[in-house]
DNA sequence: TATTAGCACTCTAAGTCTTTAAGTGCTAAA
DNA sequence: TTTAGCACTTAAAGACTTAGAGTGCTAATA
C-alpha cells in the first residue's frame, strides 16, 4: 500500500510525463507538488516506488518514468475522471444533434467525435447482433442483368449488394424464391436462417424453383454481411502523430483496422458479458494482443441500448494519455450514444 | 544534346541510384558500364551533365545523383519500357479472370493489382461520367419509415442510399413522384437532370404531389453521388515504406486520398482531352501539385473504353522508381482494363 | 523517526577532434 | 580525346571532453 505522499508523487509523475514525455526528476517534481518537501524526501519515495515496480528509469542516473505497472496502479486506484469541458460538451451535443439517416451513421459519428476531441484513434461498434432477426428480403431488378439484393434486420440495419445474374436464372424464379424466403424465414434469428439455408431451405425451394443454388448464393452473401459486426474507425491519421516513427507497428495497426476479425479480437473484453461491464476498461502493455501494441493503450467502454443489446466504443492512443479527461469524455459519449440509440429504437415500430 | 556516352552514363546513374539510393561515383560506375572507359573520362562527362542540370551532388566531393531535370530527360528521351515479366503477367491474368459483379469492382481490382505488383500506391478511376444518362430511379420501402433510393445510370453504375422518411410524406406521393421522374427524366444526361430538378421539375411534381421538396432532396442526393467520380486507392500502406519518415507528407497524402476533389486535381492531366492522351505521363518535382509532393513521382495513364469514355489509372511512388518495368506494367494493365470494360459493355444491352 | 543538506557518482547529450574512405577537379602526358 | 596521377573536399564514424541533470548515500537536524 502506498503512503499518501507516494500516491501523490506517482500521480504527478504520470501527469508531468504525459505532458512532457520526459523523465521526471526529483527537483523538478518538487516545484510541481502541492506539498512542501525537499527533493531528497521525494527521492526516497521515488526509490520505494521503483522498488515496488511502479516507476522506471531510462538509465541509472535519469529521472523517473511511470512503468506499465505504475499506470496500472494509477488507473486502478488513483484516477478520478474529470468533468467534460463545456467546449467539448458543446461539440458533442452539436454533432449528435445532426439529422441522421441510420443507426450506423450515429455509431460512425461517435467514432469521429471521439477521435476529433482526443486526437487519438477511435473505434466504435453498433449494438451486438446476438439475436437479430430477419425482417425482410428483396430483390430489385435494375436492368442489364443486374439485381440488387436488400436485406433488412430487426435491428433496423440494412445490407445490400448488387449481382450480375446469369441468363440461366429467370426473373420469375427469383421472385418465387424471394416470396418463399419471406414466408418461411422472416422473424427468425439470422444465425438460424444461416443454418437453414444450408439444410432444409434448398429442398424447399427445389419444389418451386428450377435452380435454387444461384439464388441462395446471393441470399447467403448478403446474410453474411448483415450478420457480421460493423466497426467504425475514426481518426486513423492521428496514429501518425503518436506512433513515434514506429513504422512497423503503424502497419500492424492499419492492417488490423481493415480486418473485422482482428478488430473484434482487439476489442473483445476479458470479462465481456460477465461482471460489471459498465466500467470503462483500460488495457496497456502485455494486456494487449497482438503484442506489437504493447506501447499503446486501449480504452474500451460498452454502452447499453435498452432492450437492443450492447455496443462498444474504444479509443487507442499512447500509453501516456491524459486519462482523467479522456475517460470523462468516453463516459459522456457512451451515455449520449446509448440515449440516442434507445430513442431511435423507441419510435421504431409505430 | 547529349553524346551517346553521356546518355549511357545518365541512364546508368539513374538505374544504379534507383537500386541503391546512394550517390554514384565515377569508379563504381566504370565497372557497371558496358563500355571500357576510365573513371576520369566518366568524371568529365559527369561534370558536363551536371553543368546541364541533369545531375546533382549531395556535397562538393560526393558522387552524383539524378536531378529532377535528369529524370525528366531520362523519361522523355532515354526510357524504354520493358516487357512485363511472365510472373507478373500470370498474376494480372489471374486477377482479371475473377468473376466480378460490377464495373466498379474491375476498376477497384486494377488498383489492387497495380499496387501489389509495384509496392507503390495505385489510384484508379472508372470511365468518365461526361454524358452519362439517367437510366432509372427506384424507391424501395424497407419498413420503419426507411426507404432505399436506387439510381441506375446508362454506364451501368448504381448508387443507393437509405433515408428516414418523415411521416408527413405519404407513400403514394413518393410512388407518384418516382413515376414522374422516370417518365420525364430517364434518358437525359445526369447534368441536365441535376439542372432540371432545380428549375421545372418541382413545378411538374407540384401538380400531382403535395410536398415535393422532401422527395427532391432524396433524389438530388443520390443523383449527386452518381454524378461524381469514384476513385479507388490501392496499397495505401505502401506509402509508409517509401515516404521516408516524412510524416507531414504522409498526412497530406492520406488526407488527399479521402477527398474526391483533391484526387481529381492530382490526377488531372495538363493536356487532358487534347494531344496524344494515349501516352503514359510521368510527373515529378514541381510538376506536381500540391508541392508537398515534390519528392514523389506520379505516373498516369488513361484507358479507352470503346464508346464509353476514358478512365485513368495512376501510380504514386518515390522519384526514383524502376520506370522501365513500372511503365511496361502500367501499359499492360491499362490495355487489359480497357479490354475487360469494353467486353463488359458490349454484352450490356442484349 | 522522518526529513533534509551535502556530496560523490553516473549517465546522456552535445560538442570537438581525428581518421578513413570515397569521391572530385585539375593538370599534364599519351 | 582520353587517361594517369595527385591534391583537395567531405561525410561518417569513432574517441574524447564537458556540462548538466539526476541519483543514492551519509550524516546532521527537527
Q: Mind listing the pLDDT tens digit for each residue in B75-108? A: 999 999 999 999 999 999 999 888 766 888 899 9
Full set of structural domains in chain B with CATH: 4-78 (1.10.10.10), 86-128+229-346 (3.30.450.40), 134-227 (3.30.390)
Choose among A287, A165, A161, A288: nearest CA to A225.
A161
pLDDT at B3 over 70: yes
Highest mean pLDDT among A1-15, A90-104, B211-225: A1-15
Alpha-helix residue ranges (DSSP H) falling in A186-285 = 190-196, 200-206, 212-227, 239-242, 247-258, 260-267
Question: pLDDT tens digit string along A163-184?
Answer: 887 777 778 888 889 999 999 9
Question: pLDDT tens digit string along A293-349?
Answer: 999 999 999 999 988 889 999 999 999 999 999 999 999 999 999 999 998 888 665
Give mean pLDDT, residues A194-208: 89
Question: pLDDT tens digit string along A116-170?
Answer: 999 999 999 999 867 889 999 999 998 878 899 999 998 888 999 988 877 777 7
pLDDT for A211 equals 72
A247 to B237: CB separation less than 8 angstroms, yes or no: no
pLDDT for B193 equals 96
Q: Which nucleotides of strand C are protein-proximal, with an atom < 7 A from a CB?
A: 3-6, 9-12, 22-27
Report the range of poorest mean pLDDT among A6-15, A105-114, B247-256.
B247-256
Question: pLDDT tens digit string along B105-150?
Answer: 899 999 999 999 999 999 999 998 678 899 999 999 988 788 999 9
Q: Checking phi first, is residue B244 left (phi over 0); if not, alpha (psi -120 to 50) or beta?
A: beta
- Percentage of the residues of chain B whose pLDDT score is greater than 90: 71
Report how far residue A71's alpha carbon sits from residue A77's, in angstroms, rounded to the nearest whole number: 10
H-helix or E-strand containing A183? helix A171-185
Report how far residue A10's alpha carbon sits from residue A65's, in angstroms, rounded to the nearest whole number: 9
Instruction: Select the more confidently predicted residue: B167 or B45.
Output: B45
Residue A138 has its nearest CB partner, among B135, B140, B349, at B140
A2 CA → D21 C1’, Å:
27
State which residue of chain B sits closest to A99, comparing Cα positions. B164
**Beta carbons of B3 and B49 less than 8 angstroms apart:** no
Q: Which residues of A touch B119 (CB under 8 A)?
A: none
Q: What are phi and psi of B283, to 5 degrees?
A: -120, 135
Considering only CA atoms, name the residue closest to the C1' of nucleotide D9.
B61
Instruction: Select the more confidently predicted residue: B245 or A253.
Output: A253
pLDDT at A274 over 70: no
Q: For residue B341, give the 3-state DSSP assignment.
A: helix
Chain A interface includes B142 (CB < 8 A): yes
Report the range of poorest mean pLDDT among A55-64, A103-112, B170-179, B268-277.
B268-277
Q: Among residues 75-134 of chain A, which lie with CB inside 8 Å of chain B?
A: 100-102
Q: Band of the pLDDT at B274, cuts 50, 70, 90?
A: low
Report how far residue B70's alpha carbon sits from residue B75's, in angstroms, rounded to the nearest whole number: 9
pLDDT for A247 equals 84
Give mean pLDDT, residues B214-237: 92
Amino acid at each position: 500500500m502506498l503512503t499518501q505522499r507516494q500516491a501523490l508523487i506517482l500521480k504527478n509523475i504520470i501527469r508531468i510525463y504525459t505532458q512532457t514525455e520526459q523523465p521526471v526528476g526529483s527537483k523538478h517534481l518538487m516545484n510541481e507538488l502541492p506539498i512542501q518537501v525537499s527533493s531528497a524526501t521525494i527521492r526516497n519515495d521515488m526509490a520505494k516506488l521503483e522498488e515496488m515496480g511502479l516507476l522506471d528509469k531510462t538509465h541509472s542516473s535519469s529521472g523517473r518514468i511511470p512503468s506499465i505497472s505504475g499506470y496500472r496502479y494509477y488507473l486502478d486506484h488513483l484516477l478520478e475522471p474529470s468533468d467534460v469541458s463545456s467546449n467539448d460538451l458543446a461539440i458533442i451535443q452539436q454533432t449528435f444533434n445532426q439529422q441522421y439517416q441510420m443507426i450506423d451513421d450515429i455509431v460512425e459519428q461517435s467514432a469521429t467525435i471521439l477521435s476529433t476531441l482526443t486526437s487519438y484513434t477511435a473505434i466504435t461498434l453498433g449494438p451486438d447482433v446476438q439475436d437479430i432477426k430477419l425482417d425482410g428480403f428483396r430483390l430489385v431488378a435494375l436492368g442489364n442483368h443486374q439485381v440488387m439484393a436488400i436485406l433488412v434486420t430487426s435491428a433496423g440495419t440494412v445490407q445490400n449488394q448488387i449481382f450480375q445474374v446469369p441468363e440461366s436464372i429467370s426473373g420469375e424464379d427469383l421472385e418465387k424464391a424471394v416470396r418463399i424466403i419471406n414466408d418461411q424465414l422472416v422473424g427468425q434469428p439470422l444465425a438460424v436462417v444461416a443454418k437453414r439455408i444450408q439444410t432444409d431451405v434448398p429442398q424447399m425451394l427445389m419444389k418451386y424453383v428450377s435452380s435454387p443454388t444461384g439464388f441462395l448464393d446471393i441470399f447467403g452473401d448478403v446474410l453474411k454481411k448483415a450478420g457480421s459486426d460493423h466497426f467504425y474507425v475514426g481518426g486513423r491519421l492521428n496514429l501518425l502523430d503518436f506512433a513515434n516513427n514506429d513504422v512497423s507497428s503503424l502497419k500492424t495497426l492499419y492492417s488490423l483496422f481493415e480486418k473485422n476479425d482482428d478488430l473484434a479480437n482487439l476489442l473483445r473484453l476479458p470479462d465481456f458479458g460477465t461482471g460489471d461491464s459498465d466500467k470503462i476498461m483500460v488495457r496497456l502493455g502485455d494486456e494487449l494482443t497482438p503484442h506489437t501494441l504493447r506501447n499503446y493503450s486501449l480504452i474500451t467502454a460498452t454502452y447499453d441500448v435498452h432492450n437492443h443489446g450492447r455496443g462498444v466504443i474504444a479509443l487507442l492512443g499512447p500509453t501516456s494519455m491524459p486519462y482523467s479527461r479522456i475517460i470523462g469524455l468516453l463516459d459522456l459519449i457512451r451515455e449520449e450514444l446509448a440515449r440516442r440509440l434507445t430513442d431511435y429504437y423507441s419510435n421504431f415500430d409505430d
